[in-house]
Amino acid sequence: MIEIEAVEKSYGPLRVLKGISLRVPEGKVVCVIGPSGSGKSTLLRCVNGLEGYQGGAIRVDGRLVDRGRKAEIRAVRQRVCMVFQRFNLFGHRTALENVTEGPIYALGEPRQQAEAGGRELLARVGLSGKEGTYPAQLSGGQQQRVAIARALAMRPQAVLFDEPTSALDPELVGEVLAVMRDLAREGMTMMVVTHEIAFAREVADHVVFMDHGVVVEEGPPDEVLATPREPRTQEFLRRVL
């Protein structure tokens, strides 16, 4: 579903992605771990066209992600939605309005249909009854679940998660991970940047350890997370576990 091939990306003189390659097959969950500053967010932002890249190629469902082609980027963004560390909800819109905005304005769904779908999605993330509530009245965990419902409302083929629980109070992390676990079980294609090693171990089909803009090590979670080969992976896991 997502194919990243030898991608190079610099900010001015700073090389952030140095020939990154990885794949997220349809229906699989790939977790990306690595120290802060290693380029994980940049990589996700390149996948859904929020950032351009200078070398290599990214394809989503066979479609080249090319910032030079606006229509293509729009098509990619509809297929690949992103959930950010900070919930990025529209503050002046209710939970339901946050979820229906995309279907109504980007997909052209009739309002009634979008609202019915939105209620269903809010129920699916455990937020029945919160349709009319504004983000400021929701906990961080609830806001992040609205953000996930909002992403799903676009009927994406894949969802990108950028440290979706790292801005949450510890007691709220579990409820968001539970929603993500259900989504994975239902067969959603997911690329998840996370420091939640236990989650990665349980849910990921494949784990990628990135450092300084390169893939240092990758493989099944049991190998990469339990018996890493590379010293840099070992050291990182010692620090986060």
Residues that bind Mg ion (CB under 5 A): 40-41
Residue 191 structure tokens? 């690329």
**Concatenated DSSP letters of 131-153:** TT--GGGS-HHHHHHHHHHHHHH
Segment lying near ligand ADP (by CB under 6 A), choices 10-18, 101-109, 183-191, 195-203: 10-18
From candidates 2, 24, 30, 39, binder to ligand ADP by CB under 6 A: 39
Give the one entry of ligand ADP, Mg ion, none that residue 38 binds, where binding means its C-beta sits below a cut-off of 5 to 8 angstroms depending on kind.
ligand ADP
Residue 233 binds to ligand ADP (criterion: CB under 6 A) = no
Residues 14-33 that bind ligand ADP (CB under 6 A): 14, 16
Give the other-Cβ count within 10 Å of 121's Cβ: 22
* Among 62, 22, 61, 25, CA closest to 39: 22
Residue 37 binds to ligand ADP (criterion: CB under 6 A) = yes
Q: What is the DSSP letter of 205?
A: S
Alpha-helix residue ranges (DSSP H) falling in 80-126: 95-105, 111-124
Residue type, 26: E
Give the one entry of ligand ADP, Mg ion, none that residue 11 binds, where binding means its C-beta sits below a cut-off of 5 to 8 angstroms depending on kind.
ligand ADP
Residues of the shown chain interacting with ligand ADP in the complex, contacts defined by CB under 6 A? 11, 14, 16, 34, 36-42
